[in-house]
Amino acid sequence: MTVTETFGARLDAAMAERGQLCVGIDPHSALLEQWGLPDDASGARAMGAAVVEAAAGRAAAVKPNAAFFERFGSAGLAALEDTLGAAREAGLITILDSKRGDIGSTMEAYVASTLVPGSPFEADAMTVSPYLGFDSVDPAWDACERHGKGVFVLALTSNKGAPELQHARTLEGPSVAAAVASYAAARNKGASPIGSCGLVVGATVGEGAVAAGVDLPGVHGPILAPGVGAQGATLREVEMVFRDVAPFVLISQSRSILREGPDVDKLGDAIHVASVETRALRQ
């Protein structure tokens, strides 16, 4: 890979080829028990390997949730490293769901672990939090430009308490969420077909983007949308929420697919069906 192959371009190509599904890899206790796996690092590693095998060639991306691996300490981190490595080898776009956000050298260290080629937890993109200020996101974006990586910045999440902060007004007038969207838009300016600075916008936010004054088309970047499946949102709701930017929405599903495990064939079938369904977003 060269830096001319931007994350946005690679993600867009993957979604065009394999649909707009991102499979979450969330080895939490209930799922590991359901799969008949131990609630430890070996169980997390086994789940990660099965999901990667099932998703290869069927989904655009996978998204390991760092917290569910970190809870097992150093062995869990090794399992996460193995999962990300296997996904890269399988040709999947990898997004580390770690929601990092800090200032100065601390954020630079987070970035060095994930967005630098050859780093221990190397991924194509990571989720980041902007709520310590946009200077907490800048080190991640700088690495994206150098190494052809991407970020998804938390903007409009679907948890109950989100509007209290994300719809609040800044000193300049726009909502916090709109300011986040503007930050991404500025970094995606001139990119083709889309930029590499994406947003996290929950599929269940309804008219939240309109209420917060967020210009989603103006972002010109990918949208990572959790909430379809087990959390209640449908693809029809995705079309209603995202409208003109629906072709650039990466649908994140975890529990609704992982419940089909541990059988890799059943997992693969569920991923194939979900991926095919997302193709309607590009029509």
Higher pLDDT, 80 or 256: 80
**Residues written for the chain:** 283
Look at residue 1 and tell me if it is in a domain. no
Look at residue 11 and tell me if it is in a domain. yes
* Paired tokens of 54: 């099932």
Residue 146 lies in domain: 7-282
Give exposure, 150-159, as e/b (b: 16+ Cβ within 10 Å). bbbbbbbbbe
Across residues 267-275, what is the average pLDDT?
Answer: 97
Look at residue 164 and tell me if it is in a domain. yes
Q: Tell me: the pLDDT tens digits for 170-225?
A: 998 999 999 999 999 999 999 999 999 999 999 888 888 999 999 999 999 999 99
* Paired tokens of 250: 């990466």
Catalytic residue among 99, 149, 160, 189: 99
189 is catalytic: no
Give exposure, 227-264, as e/b (b: 16+ Cβ within 10 Å). bbbebebebebbeebbeebbebbbbbbbeebbbbbbee
Which pLDDT value is given to residue 1? Answer: 43
Look at residue 2 and tell me if it is in a domain. no
Structural domains in the chain (count): 1
Residue 273 amino acid letter:
V
Contact 180, 212 (CB under 8 A): no
pTM of the model: 0.96
- Domain with residue 251: its CATH number is 3.20.20.70
Q: Tell me: the pLDDT tens digits for 85-141?
A: 999 999 999 999 999 999 999 999 999 999 999 999 999 999 999 999 999 999 999
Q: Tell me: the pLDDT tens digits for 229-265?
A: 656 678 888 888 899 999 999 999 999 999 999 999 9
